[in-house]
Amino acid sequence: MRGGDRNSTDAGDEAALTRRSLLAAAAGAGVASTAGCSGVRTPADVAEAASIGGNVAYFRGPDQVRPDSEVFLDARRREQFRTEHVYGARHVPVDDLTARTETDAGLVPDADALADRLGALGLTRDTDVVVYGSSVGSRVSRVVFVLEYLGHEGDVSVLNGGYEAWNGRVGVGSRSPRGATYEASPQEEFVVTRDWIAERVGSFNADGPGLVDVRPPEAYLGARKSPELVASNDRHGHIPGAIDVHWTGNVDGRMLAEPGTLAGLYFNNAGLSQSGRTVVYGQGNVNPTHTWLVLRALGAEDVCLYDGGFAEWANVPEDRRGRYPVETKTTTVVETSGSVGGGGGGGFSCTG
C-alpha cells in the first residue's frame, strides 16, 4: 500500500461502509424498502450502467476499477469530500491545477507548480490513478490533462458516473497525504501557444489543423447582451476559423455521452480528423480539457490545448490585435444535446 493511501475518518467504522450496506441498513431499520419495486435502481444497477464497453480510453465504471491498487483523486469541492468520499481518496483542488506561466509566445502550463501540487498529493509518475467528481465534468478532465501533460506513466482513469455511481467502500473526513517528489516530464505536444495559433489563422478546419471552441454558442458568436459573454473580455467572438462544439455535449447527466454518438458528433458533424492535429480552447483552461479528453478517448491521435484560452487572445493590447484577430461573422456551430448534471441536491457543480 502506498504511503498515505489510507485516510483518516471521523469514525473508524464508517470508513468500511458501502453504498450497498447503507441501503440494506436502511431497509432493516424500517425505512421504506424498494426491494422488488418496479423501476427502482439499486447502487449495483447504477454502477453497472456506468461501465464502459468497446474501444474507449480513460473512462471506466465502478466495477471496472481496482480500488486496492489505484489511488483515487476526488475533484469535488472540499466540503463534499469531507462529508463522504471513496475510501482512501485524496482531495485535489482543481484551482491548484490551473497554474500558467508567461512566455514570449503566450501563456503555457506552469509545469513546476503543477508538479509540486501532484507531489503534495503523494503522487509519483508511476502511480495508477482514478479521478472522479460529481460527474465526468471538466473539473475531472483538468486533473487528467495535468497528469498527462506532466508525462504521467501510471494508468489514468476517469470514474464514469462520478461519485454517485460509486458502490464501494466510503470514508469521511480528511487527512493530508504523505508528500512525494513528482518528477515532471512535460509533453509539449499537448499544448499550443497564442503565437502558434496566430501563425496559422486562415488555415484552421480547411487545409490546416482543426480548431474547436468549446464555449456556449452565444459566447462563440459574440451575441450582444448575452449572459454568456464574459465582461472582462475586451473583445467578443471567436478565433477566426474555429468551429463551435459546446463541451457539455460530451456529457449525459453524470456520465459520458454514448461514445458512438460522440464519434459522429466530432468526426462526422464537426468534420475533425482522427489522425490530424486538433486544437481545443475555451474561455480559460478547465472546460476545454473535457473535449481534449473525449477526443483522445475516442482515438484521436493528436489533440492539444490552447491553455491561454480566449481570455488571453481577446485581451491582447490594442496595438497587437491585428496579429490576434477576433471574428463573429464566419461561424460554424455544431449542435449538441448533452447536459451536465443529474438532478437532486448535493451541491453539484456545472463543471462536475
Query: Any residues with CB less than 8 A from the CB of 276 and at least 6 apart, and which?
Result: 209, 210, 302
What are the residues whose beta carbons fall under 8 Å from the beta carbon of 333, sequence distance 6 or more? 217, 220, 221, 243, 244
Decide if domain 12-171 falls under CATH 3.40.250.10.
Answer: yes
* Other residues' Cβ atoms within 10 Å of the Cβ of residue 188: 11
Is residue 316 within 8 Å of 324, Cβ to Cβ? yes
Q: How many CB atoms lie within 10 A of CB 235?
A: 17
Domain residue ranges of the chain, discontinuous segments joined by +: 12-171, 188-339
Distance CA 161, CA 235 (A): 37
> What does the pLDDT average to over 118-145?
97
Q: pLDDT of 188-230, one tens digit each?
A: 999 999 999 999 999 999 889 999 999 999 999 999 999 999 9
DSSP category for residue 179 = P
- Over residues 222-280, the pLDDT tens digits come to 999 999 999 999 999 999 999 999 999 999 999 999 999 999 999 999 999 999 999 99
- At residue 18, the pLDDT reads 52
Alpha carbons 185 and 1: distance in angstroms, whole number: 25
Q: Could you check whether 12-171 and 188-339 share the same CATH topology?
A: yes
Grid cell digits, residue 255:
456520465
How do strand 210-213 and strand 243-244 relate by DSSP bridges?
A: parallel
For residue 348, the model assigns a pLDDT of 36
Axis crossing angle, helix 111-120 with helix 138-149, rounded to the nearest 10: 110
Do 142 and 285 contact (CB within 8 A), yes or no? yes
Distance between CA atoms of residues 244 and 109, nearest Å: 24
Nearest of 305, 139, 322 to residue 212 by alpha carbon: 305
Per the model's pLDDT, the better-predicted residue between 73 and 350 turns out to be 73
Say whether domain 188-339 belongs to CATH 3.40.250.10. yes
* pLDDT per position as a tens digit, 45-95: 888 888 988 899 999 999 999 999 999 999 999 999 999 999 999 999 999
Confidence band for 32, pLDDT divided at 50, 70 and 90: very low
Q: How far apart are CA 112 and CA 115, in angstroms?
A: 5
Q: Which segment, 42-56, 314-328, 336-350, is predicted with the most confidence on average?
A: 314-328
Q: Nearest CA to 31 among 39, 18, 22, 40?
A: 22
| φ, ψ at 184 (rounded to 5°) | -75, 145
Whether residue 23 is predicted with pLDDT greater than 70 in this model: the reply is no
* pLDDT score at 164: 94
> What whole-number distance in Å separates Cα of residue 134 and Cα of residue 255?
10
CA distance linking residue 326 with residue 49, whole number of Å: 43
